[in-house]
Amino acid sequence: MLERELEVFEQQLISDSQANAEKPAFADAPVTNSSPSMEKVELFRQLFAGRPDVFPVRWENRKDGRTGYSPSCSNEWAKGICGKPKVKCGDCPHQAFIPYSEDIIEKHLRGGDARSSDFVAGVYPLLQDETCWFLAADFDKESWADDTRALLATCRAKGIAAALERSRSGNGGHVWIFFSEPVPAKIARQLGAALITETMENRPEIGFTSYDRFFPNQDTMPLGGFGNLIALPLQRKARENGNSVFVDGDLQPYDDQWAYLSSLPRLSADEVFRIADEAELSGRVLGVRMPVDDEHADEPWKMLPSRRSEPRRIEAAIPQSIKVVIADQVYIDRTELPSALIAQFVRLAAFQNPEFYRAQAMRLPTFGKPRIISCAELHPRHVALPRGCFDETVELIRSHGAIAILEDLREDGEALPAGVSFQGELRRPQSRAFDALVANDNGVLAATTAFGKTVVAAALIAHRSRNTLVLVHRRELLTQWVERLSSFLSIEPKQIGIIGGGKRKPTGIVDVALIQSLVRNGEVDDIVGNYGHLIVDECHHLSAASFELVARRSKARYVVGLSATVARKDGHHPIIFMQCGPVRHRVDARVQAAERGIRHRARDRSTKFELPASLVSAERPSMPTIYAALAQDQGRNDLIFDDVLKSLEAKRSPILLTERKDHLDYLPAEVLAVREKSGGAARRHVGEGSQASQHGVECCGR
C-alpha cells in the first residue's frame, strides 16, 4: 500500500514539472501583451519615472544627419519667443515645457501620432529633490554584450534584479535597476559604482569609463540644467528593427516584454542603502585612491584621510611566479592570472578625478570630466602600467605570495662621445638634489624657480653618459636649454640637436625637443625610443594626454622630471609620478628663500570690489564674467599699483602674477601711467621708458 502511494506521488511530481515546463514564462505577470493599453502605460510610467514637469524629445537634422535630444517645449522655434541656440532652454524666460505624461508615453510607444511619424521620447532620471526611481548603466563599446553579461552576473550574485535592454542603435545595451521608491541619486550611484567595482574583479576589460555611464550621471542637480537624459525603451520603430527591447542572457528578446517587465522585483531604498553602505565601509565603492597633494608627502599628518586600501584577498589560484617586463611601460603577463588580480594591477594606475567632484560640488555639468582617470592599458596577453608603478607592482605580487620574474628591456641608448663632462660646480643644495636623483633610475626634482634645475640636469647627463632627449613645451625653453647645455657640458654645439620650432636636426647625442613636435594624431615619433636618458622639463604638463603619451612611449633606462609645481590644481599630478617616478628630492620655497636672505611673507589686501549692476541683475553670472570684472576693477588695480610703487621705492623688482591674458595686457600699461601715487625717484622710475620690465617690473601669467 505504501509503495503504491509513493508511486502515485512520484507520478504527480512528474506531471507537475511537465505542466510547469509547458507553462508560458511570466504567466502570472500582472501585465502582459494582452493587457489593456492603459495598464501598459501605467507600468511604463512607474518603471521609467523621471522629472514629471519636462521630458527630452529626439530631433534629427535631415540636411547633415545630426541627431540629439532637447527639452520638449511648446514655444520651441516660435519666432520672436524661442531664443535657441543663443539662449539655453534652462535659462529661457519663455520656457513652456511639456510635462512627461501618460499621453507622451503612449505616443512614444506607438512611435508617434497623426502629426508625427517618428516620435522618440527620453526621460530625465534626476528628480528636482535629487532622487531617482531607477539606475541605468550604458555600454556602447564593441564588447558591450560581454560587459553587460558580467554586470548582470554581479547583480544576480547580490540578489539584485536587473534588466538588459538592447539600445536603439543595436550596438550597445542598457542595464536597468528599478527602485520601489525614490532613492537619493548619490546613493543610487554608489550602488552602481560598487557593482562595477565587483564586476571588474571578474572582467577587468569593462574599464573605468563604465563609472561615467550611469543614469543619472550626477549626485546633485546642475545649475540651470536637468541632469543627463536617457532614451526611453520600447519605441515602436526601434522595436520593429529588433532594438530598444529587453533581452535575455543570449541577447534574445523576451516574447512578452510587458510580462517580463511587470515580473521584475524592484529594489527598496533600504536595500540600496545597505549595499552602498557595505561597499563604502569596505572601500569597495570605487576602490581607487584620491590623489594626495604631493606638497604634503613629507608631512603625512597633513594628508587627506584617504589612503590606498590594502589589496583584497583573492580566493582564486595565483601562479607561484608572474613574469614582468619593464620597457616603455611595466608589462605583466596576464594569461594565467585570475581576473581579480588583473583588476588590482589596473587600479595601481588609476585615481579619482578631483575635477569631477569639484564640478559636482559646485553644481556644474560633469560632462567630459571622468570620475576615474586610468593610465593602465589592457593588451591581449599583458597588463601595461606606467613605469612609476613598478615598485607597487612588485609589492602587489609579493603580497599575494608570488614571485616577480623580471625582464629588463629598457633602452640603454648610446654612450656619449668621450670627453663629455660637466663643466660647472654644483652648490650644496644642488649637490643634494643630484645625489638623490642619481641613486635612482627615475624620479622627479621638485625645486623652486631659479634653483638651477637645468644645471643639475646637465650634471646628470654627464654622469650617466647616455644619449639624452630633453622634452620642453615652449620654444623659449628650447632655446634656453640649448644655451645652458652648451655652457655646462664640454660638448660641441653641433652635437646638441633641436626638434621643434621649425627645425628638425636631431644628433642622437643630446637633443632638445618640443614635446608637441613628437606626436601627431596620437602617433608618437619613433625617435623617442632611441635614447637611454629622458629629461622632462616642467613635467607638471604631462597630465595633457598628448604630452603623457610621448613620455609613455620612451623606453629610456633613466627618466627624470623637473618642476617647481608638481601639485596641480586639477589634482592630476599622479600622472606625473606614474611617468617620471616619485619625487626624489624637494626644495621648499620658504627654506630656499631663507637661505638667500629673503623674507617669505604673504599679505592680504582687502578690496571694496562689488559686482557691477549688470551682473547683480543677472540670475547666474558666469565665473569668467566675474573674473573679468575683478580684473577691470579700478580700485582693486590701484591697490596693486600702490604695492608696486612701494616696492620700487624700496629698490626692489616686483613681479605681478595674473591668470588672465586681458589683465596681463592691462597691468603693464597702467604701471607706466601711474605718476601721482608717489614722488621723487619712484615717480621718475615708473614714468620713463616704454616697457614696464625696463623699470624692474615684470608682469606675467602664472
Q: Helix (H, G, I), strand (E, B), or coil: what is residue 514?
A: strand
Inter-CA distances, 538 with 449, 454, 517, Å: 11, 11, 16
pLDDT of residue 301: 47
Residue with cell 511587470: 262
User: What torsion do the CA atoms of 395, 400, 405, 409 make, to the nearest 10 degrees?
Assistant: -40
- CA-based nearest residue to 99, from 172, 50, 149, 32: 50
Mean pLDDT of all residues in 116-137? 93
- Judged against a pLDDT cut of 60, whether residue 444 lies above it is answered with yes
164 versus 642: which is more confidently predicted? 164
Taking the whole predicted model, whether its pTM rises above 0.75 is answered as no
Instruction: Read off the DSSP letter of residue 95.
Output: -
Inter-CA distances, 216 with 127, 273, 283, 371, 642, Å: 9, 17, 22, 14, 51
Fold of 321-408: Translation Initiation Factor Eif1 (3.30.780)
| Per-residue pLDDT tens over the stretch 578-610 | 999 999 999 877 777 666 667 777 788 888 888
Most confident of 150-154, 313-317, 569-573, 678-682: 150-154
**CB-CB contact of 244 with 29 (8 Å):** no
Averaged confidence pLDDT in the chain: 85
488 — alpha (psi -120 to 50), left (phi > 0) or beta?
alpha
Q: Helix (H, G, I), strand (E, B), or coil: what is residue 21?
A: helix
Residues 430, 433, 437, CA angle at the centre, nearest 5°?
A: 140
Inter-CA distances, 32 with 235, 567, 599, 619, 676, Å: 17, 59, 80, 49, 86
Percent of the chain at pLDDT exceeding 70 = 85
- Judged against a pLDDT cut of 50, whether residue 8 lies above it is answered with no
Cα separation, 406 vs 10, whole angstroms: 63
What class, spelled out in words, does domain 37-282 have in CATH?
Answer: alpha beta
| Per-residue pLDDT tens over the stretch 77-111 | 888 888 787 888 877 888 889 999 999 999 999 99
Domain ranges for the chain: 37-282, 321-408, 428-595, 615-676
| Per-residue pLDDT tens over the stretch 482-504 | 999 999 999 998 999 999 988 99
- Judged against a pLDDT cut of 70, whether residue 343 lies above it is answered with yes
- CA-based nearest residue to 328, from 582, 556, 520: 556
Inter-CA distances, 326 with 285, 331, 407, 411, 557, Å: 31, 6, 6, 10, 10
User: What torsion do the CA atoms of 186, 189, 194, 198 make, to the nearest 10 degrees?
Assistant: 180
Cα separation, 174 vs 547, whole angstroms: 35
Residue type, 384: A
Cα separation, 279 vs 287, whole angstroms: 9
Percent of the chain at pLDDT exceeding 90 = 56
**CB-CB contact of 549 with 522 (8 Å):** yes
List, in order, residues 6 or more apart from 240 with CB less than 8 Å away.
none
Residue type, 107: K
Burial class (CB in 10 A: 0-12, 13-18, 19+), 416: buried
pLDDT of residue 656: 77
Cα separation, 253 vs 694, whole angstroms: 77
How many beta carbons lie within 10 A of that of residue 158, not counting itself?
15
Helix (H), strand (E) at residue 39 = helix 37-47
Instruction: Read off the DSSP letter of residue 536.
Output: E
| Per-residue pLDDT tens over the stretch 272-314 | 999 999 888 777 777 776 665 444 444 444 444 444 455 677 8
pLDDT of residue 504: 93
Cα separation, 375 vs 346, whole angstroms: 8
Residue with cell 642622437: 508
Q: In what order do the strands lie in the sheet with 382-385?
A: 377-378, 382-385, 330-333, 321-326, 403-408
| Per-residue pLDDT tens over the stretch 191-207 | 999 999 999 988 999 98
- CA-based nearest residue to 220, from 188, 179, 174: 188
- Judged against a pLDDT cut of 80, whether residue 611 lies above it is answered with yes
- pLDDT band of residue 13 (cuts 50, 70, 90) is very low
Cis status, amide bond into 85, omega within 30 of 0: yes
Mean pLDDT of all residues in 358-371? 80
Structure-block grid coordinates of residue 581? 617616478
Lowest mean pLDDT among 209-213, 250-254, 462-466: 209-213
- Judged against a pLDDT cut of 70, whether residue 447 lies above it is answered with yes
User: What torsion do the CA atoms of 445, 446, 448, 450 make, to the nearest 10 degrees?
Assistant: 20
| Per-residue pLDDT tens over the stretch 618-637 | 666 777 888 888 888 888 88
pLDDT of residue 76: 83
Q: Are strands 533-536 and 468-472 parallel, antiparallel or unpaired?
A: parallel
- pLDDT band of residue 22 (cuts 50, 70, 90) is very low
Give per-residue burial for 33-70: e unless 16+ CB within 10 Å, then b. eebeeeebbebbbebbbbbeebbbbbeeeeeeeeeebe
Structure-block grid coordinates of residue 3? 509503495
pLDDT of residue 696: 58
First to last CA, the chain: 98
| Per-residue pLDDT tens over the stretch 169-185 | 999 999 999 999 999 99
CATH number of 428-595: 3.40.50.300
Cα separation, 100 vs 123, whole angstroms: 8
Total number of residues shown for the chain: 702
| Per-residue pLDDT tens over the stretch 379-436 | 999 999 999 999 999 999 999 999 999 999 999 999 999 989 999 999 999 999 999 9
47 versus 309: which is more confidently predicted? 47
- Judged against a pLDDT cut of 60, whether residue 661 lies above it is answered with yes
